[in-house]
Amino acid sequence: MLTPHRLRLLTLDPQAHPRGQAHLSSASGLVHAGGQLYIVADDEHHLAQLDANDPVNAPLRLLRLVPGTLPADAALRKRAKPDLEALVHFPAAGTNDAGLLVAWGSGSRPQRDRAFVLDLDAHEAVAHPAREVSTTTLYAPLRDHFGELNLEAGCVMGTRLHLFQRANAGQRLNGHIVFDADAVRAWLLAASQVQPPLPLAIGPLDLGSVDGVPLGITDAAVWPDGGWVFSAVAEDTADAYRDGPCIASVIGCGISVGQVLRCERLAGAPKVEGIAPAGAGRLWLVTDADDPQRPSELLELRWSG
Q: In this predicted structure, what is the pLDDT of residue 76?
A: 86
The per-residue b/e assignment along 167-196, b for 16 or more CB within 10 angstroms, e otherwise, is bbbebeebbbbbbbbebbbebbeebeeeeb
Question: Quick check: 191 pLDDT over 70?
Answer: no
Q: In this predicted structure, what is the pLDDT of residue 215?
A: 96
Question: Quick check: 198 pLDDT over 80?
Answer: yes
Query: Cβ distance 177 to 220 under 8 Å?
Result: no
The per-residue b/e assignment along 80-109, b for 16 or more CB within 10 angstroms, e otherwise, is bbbbbbbbbbbbeeeeeebbbbbbbbbbbb
Q: In this predicted structure, what is the pLDDT of residue 227?
A: 93
- CB pairs under 8 A, 24+ apart, for 255-259? 255/226, 255/227, 256/227, 256/228, 257/155, 257/157, 257/160, 257/162, 257/176, 257/220, 257/222, 257/228, 258/162, 258/176, 258/178, 258/203, 258/205
Q: In this predicted structure, what is the pLDDT of residue 206?
A: 94
Nearest-angstrom CA–CA distance, 127 and 250: 34
Query: Cβ distance 62 to 76 under 8 Å?
Result: no
pLDDT tens figures, 130-168: 999 999 999 999 999 999 999 999 999 999 999 999 998
Domains of the chain, CATH where assigned: 5-302 (2.120.10)
Question: Quick check: 173 pLDDT over 90?
Answer: yes
Q: Which of 143, 145, 165 is nearest to 154 (CA)?
A: 165
pLDDT tens figures, 30-40: 999 989 999 99
Lowest mean pLDDT among 77-81, 174-178, 200-204, 267-271: 77-81
Query: Cβ distance 176 to 204 under 8 Å?
Result: yes
Q: In this predicted structure, what is the pLDDT of residue 274?
A: 97
- pLDDT-based confidence at residue 127 (cuts at 50, 70, 90): confident
Higher pLDDT: 248 or 81? It is: 248
Sheet holding 174-180, edge to edge: 151-157, 160-165, 174-180, 201-205
- pLDDT-based confidence at residue 236 (cuts at 50, 70, 90): confident
Question: Quick check: 271 pLDDT over 70?
Answer: yes
- pLDDT-based confidence at residue 70 (cuts at 50, 70, 90): confident
pLDDT tens figures, 280-300: 899 999 999 888 889 999 999
